[in-house]
Amino acid sequence: MRVLVIGSGGREHALVWKLAQSPSVSKIFAAPGNGGTLAEGAENVAVAADDLDGLVALAQREQVDLVVPGPELPLTLGITDRMRAAGIACFGPDAYGARLEGSKAFAKDVMERAKVPTANHAVFSDAAAARQYLREAGCGMVVKADGLAAGKGVVVARTVDAAVAAVDDMLEAHAFGAASERVLLEELLEGEEVSLLCFCDGTRAVPLPSAQDHKAALDGDQGPNTGGMGAYSPAPILPDSQLEALADQTVRPVLRVLAEDGHPFVGVLYAGLMMTANGPRVLEYNTRFGDPECQPLLMRLEGDLAAIMLDCVHGRLDAAKIGYTQQTALGVVLVAEGYPGSYPKGMPINGIAEAEALPSVKVFHSGTARRDGQLVSDGGRVLCVTALGEGLAQAQRAAYAAVDKITMPQSRCRSDIGSKGIRRLARQDG
Average pLDDT estimate for 222-226: 89
Quick one: 58 and 181 in the same domain? no
Q: What's the chain's Rg over C-alpha atoms?
A: 21
392's enclosing H/E stretch is helix 392-403
Whether residues 180 and 196 share a domain: the answer is no
Domain harbouring 342, CATH code? 3.30.470.20
- Is 376 found in the same domain as 258? yes
Q: In 86-143, which ranges are continuous DSSP H helix?
A: 95-102, 104-114, 127-137
- Give me the mean pLDDT over the 269-289 stretch: 95
Tell me what the mean pLDDT of segment 108-119 comes to: 96
Give, in order, the Cα–Cα distances in Å from 148 to each of 101, 192, 229, 418. 7, 23, 19, 27
CB 245 within 8 A of CB 279: no
Q: What is the mean pLDDT of residues 396-410?
A: 98
Decide if 385 contacts 334 (C-beta within 8 A).
yes
The closest alpha carbon to 415, from 316, 311, 334, belongs to 334
Q: Which pLDDT score is estimated for 224?
A: 87
For residues 170 and 203, state if they share a domain: no
Regarding whether 237 and 283 lie in a shared domain, the answer is yes
Between 84 and 373, whose confidence is greater? 84
Residue 108 in any domain: the answer is no
User: Does 98 reside within a domain?
Assistant: no
Mean pLDDT of 142-153: 84
Q: How confident is the model at residue 155 (pLDDT cuts 50, 70, 90)?
A: confident
430 has a pLDDT exceeding 70:
no
pLDDT at res. 151: 66
Q: Among 110-114, 156-160, 208-212, which stretch is predicted with the lowest mean pLDDT?
A: 156-160
**pTM listed for this prediction:** 0.94
Average pLDDT for the chain: 95
- Taking the alpha carbons at both ends of the chain, their separation in whole angstroms is 51
Question: Quick check: 395 pLDDT over 70?
Answer: yes
Q: List pLDDT tens digits, range 318-363.
A: 999 999 999 999 999 999 999 999 999 999 999 999 999 999 999 9
Residue 276 has pLDDT above 80, yes or no: yes
Nearest to 44 by CA among 19, 89, 23, 13: 13
Check residue 299 and give its pLDDT: 98
Structural domain boundaries, residue 85: 2-90
Residue 7 is part of a domain; what is its CATH number? 3.40.50.20
Residue 225 lies in a domain: yes
What was the pLDDT predicted at 243?
97
pLDDT of residue 152: 73
Q: Is residue 197 part of a domain?
A: yes
Residue 306 has pLDDT above 90, yes or no: yes
State whether 214 and 83 are in the same domain.
Answer: no
Q: Is 105 helix (H, G, I), strand (E, B) or coil?
A: helix
Contact 194, 213 (CB under 8 A): no
Q: Is there a domain that residue 97 lies in?
A: no
73 and 222 together in one domain: no
Instruction: For residue 170, give the CATH number of its domain.
Output: 3.30.1490.20
Torsion of CA 108, 113, 117, 120, to 10 degrees: 50
Calculate mean pLDDT across residues 233-260: 97
95 domain-assigned = no
pLDDT band, very low/low/confident/very high, at 417 (cuts 50, 70, 90):
very high
| Residue 298 lies inside a defined structural domain of this protein | yes
- Taking residues 137-146, report their average pLDDT: 90
Final residue before a domain boundary, out of 186, 202, 233: 186
Percentage of the residues of the chain whose pLDDT score is greater than 90:
92
321 and 399 share one domain:
yes
Q: Is residue 161 part of a domain?
A: yes
Are 323 and 243 members of one domain?
A: yes
pLDDT band at 418 (very low <50, low <70, confident <90, very high): very high
Q: How confident is the model at residue 6 (pLDDT cuts 50, 70, 90)?
A: very high
Residues 68 and 152 in one domain: no
Q: At which of 186, 207, 226 does a domain end?
A: 186
Q: What is the largest CA-CA distance in the chain?
A: 61
- Of 153 and 61, more confident: 61
Q: Are 220 and 198 contained in the same domain?
A: yes
Q: For the chain, what is the domain count?
A: 3
Rounded mean pLDDT, 195-224: 95
Domain boundary among 141, 161, 186: 186
- Same domain flag for 18 and 133: no
